[in-house]
Chains A and B, each alone.
Chain A
Amino acid sequence: MSGTEADTTFLVALAGLPGMGPARLRHLLDGRSPADAWAVVRGASPVPPAVAKACGPKVAAVLAGWRAAAAAVDVDERWAAHDAAGILVTPTSAPGVPACLAADLEPPAVLFHTAPLSRLEGPRVAIVGTRRATRYGLDVARELGRDLAASGVLVVSGLATGIDGAAHRGALEAGVAPPVAVVGCGPDVVYPPRHAALWADVIAAGVLLSEHPLGTPPAPWRFPARNRVVAALADVLVVVESRASGGSLYTVDEALARDVPVHAVPGSVRSPASVGTNQLLADGAAPCRDAGDVLDALGLVRPASGGGGQMPAPPPELAGILEALGWEPATFDDLQTGTALDPGVLAAGLTRLVAGGWLQRQGGWFERLQPDGPRR
């Protein structure tokens, strides 16, 4: 076993200790080899003051937890498990780690990933947003993901429900640039569980990155740390929908700290899911109307035709209903007032539009799905 590999072995074990966050790990490894750091957590070496400080007020309990967990860990076995699962482990100090991570304000000490880090090369755009998205947000995230990936841009997101998932799905649809997912748990812990299929698709087509070893369960404090890696990886951050407060605004803060340009997708001023993004626009974030706006910011060439436009036009007798609906959610009663159609005629028309994929019905609201032509 070479020296670097032995170091990595200890890194895996260190990263898997309870309560081990990026800051504590960084302080443990400050001027110390992973083997020496392991000796510290085992209690064989004195605890340096910087580490004790990073452990906060409950330092004794944290250190005791580490010591107990470390005593129970078979370091080589942990390493072998990662090897067997095909999870690559790279210390951030190693060559080949993207400069944006290696030289970050708060660099991760170690990365667990499912594909070589060389796949991260190229322009990268992070698409983030609320987990509780509207139809509009999901459609925009998906289109952005698809059109950016089709232009060769790596789409980075967090595999969460809502906007994150839609962005990954869009990137997978394009099938050009590999999708990049940064997760806040072990690379084998599928969270949320309903994204199991998407999780597997992203691993198959792109890269899944984590700071945590196999088996690390998701915990609330890990998601802000994950967001910082997303921000660090991005050349441009696009927020599709965000509520007045939420994790995506945390990503925005991290991006601003790293001078990463932030774009926000404008939303209805009445939509609670767009309060955060509209506030970002008011605060001076660049508006993102489509992939072209992001490509402009990256200095890349816009694709010749606008995105979307694959939907065939609806039959002429149904166009009036789509016209009355517009791009805001509306109820059956709203539409009946708007179109002045007989309820039966409207109902049959709506059923056809839903079946044809122009509309979706959700909770009594009808929402238009995709543009029936280029928007600009």
Chain B
Amino acid sequence: MLATAATATLLGVEGRPVSVEVHVSSGLPGFTIVGQPDQACREARDRVRAALLSSRLAWPQQRVTVNLAPSGVRKIGGGLDLAIAVGVLAATDQVPMSSLDRRAFVGELGLDGSVRPVTGTLPLVGVLDADEVVVAPASVAEATVVGRHVVRCAPSLRDVAVALRGDEPWPDPPPPGSAPPVADPPDLLEVRGHRLARRALEVAAAGGHHLLLLGPPGSGKTLLATRLPGLLPPLEGEQALEATRVHSAAGLPLPADGLLRRPPLRRPHQSASAVAVLGGGSASMRPGEVSLAHGGVLFLDELGEFPPAVLDALRQPLEEGVMRVARAELRATLPARFLLVAAMNPCPCGGGERPGDCSCSDAALARYARRVSGPLLDRFDLRLEVQRVSTDDLLGGPAGEPSAPVAERVAMARAVAAARGVRANAELRGSALESATPLAPGVAELLEGALGTGALTGRGLARVRAVARTIADLEEHEGPLTAEQVGLALQLRSATLRPHLRRTA
């Protein structure tokens, strides 16, 4: 007899619907799975058989053939176990064939018959064309986020079989709130001094401007960068769904209600492999750190220590907001729209605390500056040096403004940007930028002066105007940009990677 059960498998951060066809016929007892299963999926044979037996259900002493359609898609992991088991039950009349109609099954089986959660439940459930989805109890919150299905759960295969037969109702979902509470993001209140750098964080958050922090060790680069996610507005709608899908596909823990609303902060170490940062890897094309930072902040500490190949590959997500990963037979497009914050020592010796302190040779400085390519450097609208805070400020100085009011201003500025038709001012280009950033009288002369000293290039000029627009939006200033706004934008972008090389008379 033939039974068909619906489920899905994962590629990148997207589900692909899979239909599990189970054929039970007379012949020598055996169990084969065809249709591009991977190792974990092929092992379903052993898990499913053991789960059925442990659940006091009958295993057919017949020939069982399972086909996973469409055959062109590679099936990954153990998420198909439940569908295979239910298919076998239907094909052997242990549950009615009609109970599989308009139902889909996503779950892995234990040898004891328990139903276990699957990585990527959200994207998997999202592609299922069914009225009801059956998942593991721990996946209910995540599966409910999709909102299109009635979500059923069962702790074990036996419960699934009983419910499908209609003997008993579906078990109740577990009470929500079992996930551990998430700690609040670090607050700006703890940052003392750093007046200009605080301003840079606010502007970065409001305008979506990528930020490069240059400073000696211990100057507070990490302290500042980790405050940025707390300034970003919470994720909403499609963006929250996308971010949650990525985290789900990567198997990261999700909040109790299943939807990721807090902008994530990802900080890969410089020794992370290219695949870990960019995505790809195993046959499921796991999302990398750039995708996990989707909707939030990607913090690259010691930017110059990352492999050049990784840094160069960052240019695509920075430009397009997606990471395209291609392997021999697979390709996936992973969302990757993030705010990039990078930190670097100004020079290899890291001792440049005051002018003239650095003991690096010219050659060493030039080599260090070359580690970050010009095109990548161009993506940073904000480039700022950070100095160690004086002891006075650290001990006796006034506490800084907390994150909450800053975040309010940021949300307001983002609303102003949205009225221009962009997510944030950093996306303003060409004529839209031109019309959004008229200059007040006398400001052109200020910019000309900066161009004259070589502090600014033609390309930089456009970016300075975008940053100045963000500063104006934060000040609730409409109309032409003032000298103060443009001047501050210039100061926020004035750091160079090779400051010491300019030390000639």
Partners in one complex: yes
Chain A residues proximal to chain B, CB less than 8 Å = 132-135, 137-139, 141-142, 161-162, 165-166, 169-170, 192, 194, 241, 270-273, 329, 331-333, 336, 342-345, 347-352, 354-356, 361-365, 367
CB-based nearest B residue for A341: B484
Q: A354-B453, A355-B453, A361-B455 are in contact. Are A271 and B488 (CB under 8 A)?
A: no
Cross-interface CB contact of B487 among A166, A169, A348, A361, cutoff 8 Å: A348
- Report yes or no: A329 in contact with B196, Cβ–Cβ below 8 A: no
The answer for the CA separation of A138 and B385 in the assembled complex, in Å, is 23
Chain B contact-residue range equals: 35 or more
Q: Provide the residues of chain A in CB contact with B354, threshold 8 Å.
A: 270-272, 329, 365
| Beyond known contacts A165-B504, A194-B504, A272-B356: 19 more, CB 8 A cutoff | A138-B503, A141-B505, A169-B505, A273-B356, A332-B195, A332-B491, A342-B484, A343-B196, A343-B488, A344-B471, A345-B484, A347-B488, A348-B484, A351-B446, A354-B450, A355-B450, A355-B453, A362-B499, A365-B387
Interface of A is mostly: helix
- Report yes or no: A161 in contact with B385, Cβ–Cβ below 8 A: no
- Is B428 located at the chain interface by the 8 A CB criterion? no
Cross-interface CB contact of A347 among B362, B455, B490, B495, cutoff 8 Å: B490
Q: A343-B488, A351-B446, A363-B500 are in contact. Are A332 and B356 (CB under 8 A)?
A: no
The answer for the CA separation of A355 and B362 in the assembled complex, in Å, is 26
Identify which of residues 463-505 in chain B touch chain A, using a CB-to-CB cut-off of 8 Å.
471, 482-488, 490-491, 494-495, 499-500, 502-505
CB-based nearest A residue for B483: A348
- Is B359 located at the chain interface by the 8 A CB criterion? yes
- Report yes or no: A362 in contact with B455, Cβ–Cβ below 8 A: no
Closest CB in chain A relative to B206 CB, distance in Å: 15
Q: A333-B193, A333-B196, A362-B503 are in contact. Are A351 and B387 (CB under 8 A)?
A: no
Closest CB in chain A relative to B26 CB, distance in Å: 82
User: By CB atoms of chain B within 10 A, which of A134, A331, A348, A363 has the most?
Assistant: A363
Closest CB in chain B relative to A32 CB, distance in Å: 41
The answer for the CA separation of A241 and B355 in the assembled complex, in Å, is 13
- Report yes or no: A165 in contact with B385, Cβ–Cβ below 8 A: no
Closest CB in chain A relative to B389 CB, distance in Å: 8
- Report yes or no: B499 in contact with A363, Cβ–Cβ below 8 A: yes
Q: A342-B484, A351-B446 are in contact. Are A166 and B505 (CB under 8 A)?
A: yes
The answer for the CA separation of A192 and B449 in the assembled complex, in Å, is 31
The answer for the CA separation of A367 and B214 in the assembled complex, in Å, is 18
Chain B residues proximal to chain A, CB less than 8 Å = 193-196, 199, 214-215, 346, 352, 354-359, 362, 384-387, 446, 448-450, 452-453, 455, 471, 482-488, 490-491, 494-495, 499-500, 502-505
Closest CB in chain B relative to A180 CB, distance in Å: 17
Q: Provide the residues of chain B in CB contact with A271, threshold 8 Å.
A: 354, 356
User: By CB atoms of chain A within 10 A, which of B193, B385, B386 has the most?
Assistant: B385
Closest CB in chain A relative to B402 CB, distance in Å: 19
- Report yes or no: B487 in contact with A350, Cβ–Cβ below 8 A: yes
- Report yes or no: B505 in contact with A138, Cβ–Cβ below 8 A: yes
Q: Provide the residues of chain B in CB contact with A343, threshold 8 Å.
A: 195-196, 199, 488
- Report yes or no: A161 in contact with B362, Cβ–Cβ below 8 A: yes
- Report yes or no: B449 in contact with A352, Cβ–Cβ below 8 A: yes
- Report yes or no: A132 in contact with B196, Cβ–Cβ below 8 A: no
Q: Provide the residues of chain A in CB contact with B195, threshold 8 Å.
A: 332-333, 336, 343
- Report yes or no: A344 in contact with B196, Cβ–Cβ below 8 A: no
The answer for the CA separation of A358 and B266 in the assembled complex, in Å, is 42
The answer for the CA separation of A273 and B352 in the assembled complex, in Å, is 12
